[in-house]
Structure 1
Amino acid sequence: MVLWVDLKSLAANVQGPMLCMGDYNAIFQADDRPQGSSIQDIEVRDFNECLIDIGIHDVKTTGGSYTWTNGHTCIRIDKGIVNVGWMMLMPAIEVNILSSGVYHHPPPPQIGTG
């Protein structure tokens, strides 16, 4: 996927702390889909390999457990991911997932400290 290539290129050029937040439209663990069909390896492989290749980690989340729903399936596809430099600078950082109300997506996740 082009996003993973672009993310690898970005990470290769960053010399300091790096935080990337947004809708990755991908999951990388079973907890990312708390409601819906079982997670298949093919769904998580590319994203996981990208994160491992560039040494990026998912930021701890608080609040809601998903960021998108169609009413039957709930998925956490909006994420904050950071490199080691960021974790050293801001070790208590968390991403707060807000309530969605009546929309498919809740408001954008908020970043803060625990």
Structure 2
Amino acid sequence: MEGPRLCFGDFNAILHYLETQSTRQPHIAQINVFREALESCQLEDLGYKGYPFTWTNKRPSDANTKLRLNRVVATKGWIENFQASNVVHLFPHALDYIPIAIQVQKFRQKHHRADRGFKFEEIWLLWDECEAQV
């Protein structure tokens, strides 16, 4: 498939050991298979802002497991086209999955001079070219 691509959702897999909080050890082979699948599709994880886990089994104390299963991945072409985009983990609102939001922006917002307002300096009245400009 050609061109920039973005994929998101529940991949039901983790990329790193740090994406789990559990008494059970993650299966390294499954992590490696998922990583290889993303690499073969030339997809990169976009990261996130917010709470580190997107799923919980909601069990008490030591039986509780938390994982980062939801994610957003994209090709280099997509990342280059939408440099200012980011992913945010939202609040769960009593769900076992935390919803994610993708804020897609091509470029960072620049503050224009007009956004700050115009300030007139009285000393400008002493300049010879001031009257001609006004």
Which band: TM-score by shorter chain? 0.7 to 0.9
- Mapping for residues 68-87 of structure 1, pairs under 5 Å: 68-71=55-58, 72-87=64-79
| Cross-structure match for 1:4 | none
Count of aligned pairs between the two proteins: 99
Q: Could you tell me which runs of 5 or more consecutive residues in structure 2 were left unpaired when the two chains were aligned.
A: 59-63, 109-134
| Cross-structure match for 2:102 | 111
1:23 aligned onto 2:15:
no
User: By how many angstroms is 1:87 displaced?
Assistant: 1.0
CA distance in 2, matches of 1:18, 1:59: 12
Runs of 4+ that moved beyond 6 A: none
CA distance in 2, matches of 1:77, 1:50: 15
Report the secondary structure of 1:62's partner residue. coil
More strand by share: 1
Which whole-Å deviations, capped at 9, do the CAs of 1:32-76 have from their partners, x for residues lacking one? 21x113333122021111111121100120011111101201111
AA of the residue aligned to 1:53: S
| Cross-structure match for 2:86 | 94
- Looking at both structures, which has the greater relative contact order when contacts are Cα pairs under 8 Å and sequence separation is at least 6? 1
User: By how many angstroms is 1:101 displaced?
Assistant: 2.5
Length-normalised TM-score, structure 2: 0.68
| Cross-structure match for 1:51 | 38
Q: Could you tell me which runs of 5 or more consecutive residues in structure 1 were left unpaired when the two chains were aligned.
A: 1-12
Cα RMSD of the aligned pairs, angstroms, is 1.6
Length-normalised TM-score, structure 1: 0.79
CA distance in 2, matches of 1:40, 1:25: 13
Question: Computing the radius of gyration over CA atoms, which structure comes out larger, 1 or 2?
Answer: 2
| Cross-structure match for 2:128 | none
